Structure 1
Amino acid sequence: MSKPKKTPRPRAETPKGFRDYFGSEVTHRAAMLRKIAAVYERYGFDALESSGVETVEALGKFLPDVDRPNEGVFAWQEDADADKPGDWLALRYDLTAPLARVYAQHRNDLPNPYRRYAMGPVWRNEKPGPGRFRQFYQCDADTVGAPSVAADAEICAMLADCLEEVGIERGDYVVRVNNRKVLNGVMEVAGLAGDDKAAERGIVLRAIDKLDRLGPEGVRALLGEGRKDESGDFTDGAGLGKLEIETVMDFVNSYEPISNALSKEASNAEAEGDKERADKLHAARYSVHGAFLEKGDRVHYGAYRHIWNQRVIDHLRRVVGDSPVGFQGVEELQQMLELLKASGHSDCRLQIDPSVVRGLGYYTGPVFEAELTFEIKDEKGRPRNFGSVAGGGRYDDLVKRFTGQAVPATGVSIGVDRLLAALHAKGRLDDTAQGPVVVTVMDRDRMADYQAMVAELRQAGIRAEVYLGNPKNFGNQLKYADKRGSPVAVIEGGDEHANGVVQIKDLILGAQIAENATLEEWKDRPSQYEVPRDQLVVKVREILGLHG
């Protein structure tokens, strides 16, 4: 008789493209979400929590980088094997498409305009990579029902305030702004208007959106026949001709001609002896070199970014030619600059950048991204700027899919995990989060006494716990406290109990003494204190205050 086969044990590993978060990572994220929510609420936005699952039909055709509804998202069909299969459902890939459904469903009960913010995880069934996961947090704010470009300007102002609220200092970021209407005008000039060119326009959008990663030549390849990446995967291109490609690139890669023109004007000003004007023109050029400047220089040069922004707008007016929609987009960019200046958000924090198009297809007007401009090292030790941590724009047609009526909307999504990674890279996060005070167990029969100590500490607002492992080996209890990052251990044996005292061990000071002090210093700086039992909370507070 053959032996029954053993059921194989499941592998203890996270699925590909996902990760687990522990301790300080979770608390840092929660703290960041509270700070961002506070800014959103100051601007008058209300919280909304929608379902993590939507019908694929509700998510629509605007899936990230895909053409079929079962790709790009995690989707399944209800009762797939039944005679009448149910709906296709999917985990939400962002928080914007669900908002369109919510507004359409509840619009009669909601104020108009409706200003909401939402926070939570989203899921994308995409190829994972370094720092790129299939589940990540987003933190969105949107205004639905406001057609004015003032709503877009307000979102950009709020985004800047959020970055500074969480610890990204001025000079370390810039909000880059463009307008899809300008791009539509360029498409029109390049012969890509009309429903029969929709597929090509989609490829063009995604190609431009990858300019920072692929560079101008990589984008040119995607505008043409296509591109093979380092892994050998081939991405089909838009199939544009040389003239069409150059028209699009003249729009996207405006940096070079504007930079050259400013440099030439600065040289002329120097030759004429006008050093003040020459310095301003040079500063305007340097204002877009953020990643390779010292922070003080970034702040200084940013003060002259208004010169750069106006030159870009003038350049875009030439590029769109006679296109009415293109001209409208340029005028909206001009209005946004004026409105942001009026609200105290100067060009120091804002840059007009035609390369910002956003990859998703539902944007219809202004689009924006927040880019961190400080320098980090990549995996090969090469300097680069940190990159984008937030993005959004206007999407006036998304709700219309449900209602049949045009509903203007604009919003932004902040990538919380990216922001946390940025603060970590700048050394502004303490990954050694303080653990709880640990009350050790010296006598199993007096567990009630130890629980009473913990209760007193908790009632005083101090994080605390009783050691619940095997108390036989006291050294293991202190090792446990050390592993938890505990600042203090409380010790009460039989003698201490009889004398009405407790021993309080300052674990942080003890570690410092053990690491740095001489024997004489160690004797003079005790890290363990004996105090009356009724002074337990007072002494623990005192120690925590020293290390707070």
Structure 2
Amino acid sequence: MSKPKKTPRPKAETPKGFRDYFGVEVTERKAMLDAIAEVYHRYGFDALETSAVETVQALGKFLPDVDRPNEGVFAWQEADDKDQGDWLALRYDLTAPLARVYAQHRNDLPTPYRRFAMGPVWRNEKPGPGRFRQFYQCDADTVGAASVAADAEICAMLADTLEKVGIPRGDYIVRVNNRKVLNGVLETMGLEADATRDAVLRTIDKFDKVGEAGVRELLTTGRKDASGAFIDGVGLSETQAGPVLAFLTSKAEQAADTLANLRNAVGESAAGAEGVDELEEMAALLAAQGYGPDRIEIDPSVVRGLGYYTGPVFEAELTFEILDDKGRKRQFGSVAGGGRYDDLVKRFTGQAVPATGVSIGVDRLLAALREKGRMASEARGPVVVTVMDKQRMADYQAMVAELRQAGIRAEVYLGNPKNFGNQLKYADRRGSPVAVIEGGDEKAAGMVQIKDLILGAQIAESATLEEWKERPSQFEVPREQLVAKVREILESQS
């Protein structure tokens, strides 16, 4: 009889494209989300939590449209009968679920409906450096308001949010454009609904990376990329490419001049002229609220999505410099984006419903704050009550209960108490600010020892023996003064 094979042990590894988040990272994210929610709430937006799972039909076709419906999303078929079961998928953003919610509950919701949502989204895409299959988004949207006042409000709120979380004025800019202007430019070129139009749109989206000369080459004969590989051009003539380049380079020092340049770029297009009018109205509304071009500016190079947006579009870009992996200086780049999408709810209702919103990339924004040194680099752990006698665990639990009831984060050491040094090593690994010690002698005398671990570490690194005497890091106090002394040390550390 053959010996049964052992079941192999599972590998303890994170799935490709995913990652784990530990204490300080979770705490930092929560603090940021709380700050963002405070601004959104102040602007009158209500919180909404939607299911992480939607039907593939509800998610729509804003990811690749292929024969297999789970391309680009994590999807599965609900029923055992593979011919009849519904396809379900993890949400890939927070906007598609909003469209479903509004269509489903529109008779019970106010119009306009203003909501914000925060949470993870999932995309079944190839992961790369800094690119994960699960990440957090933080959205705010207004559904049911056709006025560009709603778009202007979103832009103002985005600027306020960036400042609230710690990005100072001068380190960011919210850039605004309008898809109707771009559509007007394409109309003047005779490119309204064909493959060439899509190729032109993809090329425009590369303006930030390759500049005017690069876009000109890509629109016409093609160009070599940084690796030396040749990229075929769209095949337009220089004359045909002219309106696109005029559009992309129409930004001027003053908003009025930019708007004038855009009017020239759209020519006789009614849709393009409407887009310029909307930009002009947004600029006036923002100026009336005190949002000048140092915070929010009109910038024709903002394109965003190819088929999603129908009007104003905007991006928040961080303008300070960082060093890339090769030590080269570059701007941090975009951390948020959004715009008007008037056709999304229509998929469910058959009726056009105006909507506009913004999505903040939480992980990108956290990375930016770390670059600016505005996030804590170390987690502050709890006060640790050490165990000198395991027979007196009730005494130690009473101490920790007093500390917790006083609002102080604290824990009793629950490992093997035999080696006291290991208890202090544990406290150090936890980033604990204070250790509480009560041995038999202290118990008999009604005293406790309280050790300032932060100061103790600083003294051990740099102080002389005399400074040890002048700056004690361990104190003996009456047992009834435990909470007061711990609070005093914590306040001195902060």
Instruction: Give the TM-score range, shorter chain.
Output: over 0.9
Q: CA deviation at 1:92?
A: 1.1
| Equivalent in the alignment of 2:201 | 205
Q: Is the Cα contact below 8 Å between 1:191 and 1:244 reproduced in 2?
A: no
State the SS of the aligned residue for 1:347: coil
**CA distance 1:3–1:497, shift in 2 (3 Å):** same
| Equivalent in the alignment of 1:453 | 399
Q: CA deviation at 1:166?
A: 0.4
2:473 counterpart of 1:537: no
| Equivalent in the alignment of 2:9 | 9
State the SS of the aligned residue for 1:61: coil
| Equivalent in the alignment of 2:248 | 252
Once the two structures are superposed, residues 329-356 of structure 1 have per-residue CA deviations (whole angstroms, 9 ceiling, x without a partner) of 0111111110001112122201211111
Mean Cα deviation higher: 502-511 or 346-355: 346-355
AA partner of residue 396 (structure 1)? D
2:411 counterpart of 1:412: no
State the SS of the aligned residue for 1:76: strand
Q: Percent identity over the alignment?
A: 76
| Equivalent in the alignment of 2:25 | 25
| Counterparts of 1:524 and 1:12, CA distance in 2 | 50
| Counterparts of 1:99 and 1:347, CA distance in 2 | 31
| Counterparts of 2:210 and 2:441, CA distance in 1 | 71
**CA distance 1:406–1:172, shift in 2 (3 Å):** same
| Counterparts of 1:348 and 1:340, CA distance in 2 | 12
| Counterparts of 1:544 and 1:224, CA distance in 2 | 66
TM-score of the two chains, using structure 1 as the length reference: 0.85
Q: CA deviation at 1:187?
A: 1.2
Mean Cα deviation higher: 242-251 or 511-520: 242-251
Structure 1: gaps of 5 or more residues: 259-283, 285-306
| Equivalent in the alignment of 1:163 | 162
| Counterparts of 1:475 and 1:116, CA distance in 2 | 53
| Equivalent in the alignment of 1:300 | none
Q: Is the Cα contact below 8 Å between 1:202 and 1:361 reproduced in 2?
A: no
Q: CA deviation at 1:222?
A: 5.7
**CA distance 1:55–1:351, shift in 2 (3 Å):** same
Q: CA deviation at 1:484?
A: 0.5
| Counterparts of 1:227 and 1:495, CA distance in 2 | 82
1:476-495 equivalence runs, <5 A: 476-495=422-441
State the SS of the aligned residue for 1:363: coil
Q: CA deviation at 1:36?
A: 0.6
| Counterparts of 1:189 and 1:14, CA distance in 2 | 51
AA partner of residue 317 (structure 1)? R
2:442 counterpart of 1:496: yes
Mean Cα deviation higher: 96-105 or 129-138: 129-138
2:384 counterpart of 1:385: no
**CA distance 1:216–1:523, shift in 2 (3 Å):** same
Q: Is the Cα contact below 8 Å between 1:400 and 1:406 reproduced in 2?
A: yes
| Counterparts of 1:422 and 1:25, CA distance in 2 | 14
| Equivalent in the alignment of 1:396 | 342
| Counterparts of 1:429 and 1:150, CA distance in 2 | 34
| Counterparts of 2:487 and 2:424, CA distance in 1 | 20
| Counterparts of 2:445 and 2:129, CA distance in 1 | 58
| Equivalent in the alignment of 1:89 | 88
2:38 counterpart of 1:42: no
Once the two structures are superposed, residues 270-322 of structure 1 have per-residue CA deviations (whole angstroms, 9 ceiling, x without a partner) of xxxxxxxxxxxxxx4xxxxxxxxxxxxxxxxxxxxxx2x22221111110000
Q: CA deviation at 1:254?
A: 3.5
| Equivalent in the alignment of 1:74 | 74
Q: CA deviation at 1:226?
A: 7.8
| Counterparts of 2:226 and 2:52, CA distance in 1 | 35
Q: CA deviation at 1:235?
A: 8.6
State the SS of the aligned residue for 1:526: coil
State the SS of the aligned residue for 1:3: coil
| Counterparts of 2:224 and 2:101, CA distance in 1 | 40
| Counterparts of 2:220 and 2:9, CA distance in 1 | 50
1:495-514 equivalence runs, <5 A: 495-514=441-460
Once the two structures are superposed, residues 390-420 of structure 1 have per-residue CA deviations (whole angstroms, 9 ceiling, x without a partner) of 0000001111111111110101111111111
State the SS of the aligned residue for 1:441: coil
1:186-265 equivalence runs, <5 A: 186-194=185-193, 197=194, 199-216=195-212, 219=215, 223=219, 240=236, 242-254=238-250, 258=252
| Equivalent in the alignment of 2:175 | 176
| From 398, 403, 408, the counterpart of 1:462 | 408
1:287-306 equivalence runs, <5 A: none
AA partner of residue 244 (structure 2)? V
AA partner of residue 436 (structure 2)? V
Relative contact order, CA 8 A, sep 6+: which one is greater?
A: 1
**CA distance 1:200–1:454, shift in 2 (3 Å):** farther
| Counterparts of 1:2 and 1:402, CA distance in 2 | 60
AA partner of residue 141 (structure 1)? A
| Counterparts of 2:83 and 2:66, CA distance in 1 | 25
| Counterparts of 1:77 and 1:224, CA distance in 2 | 45
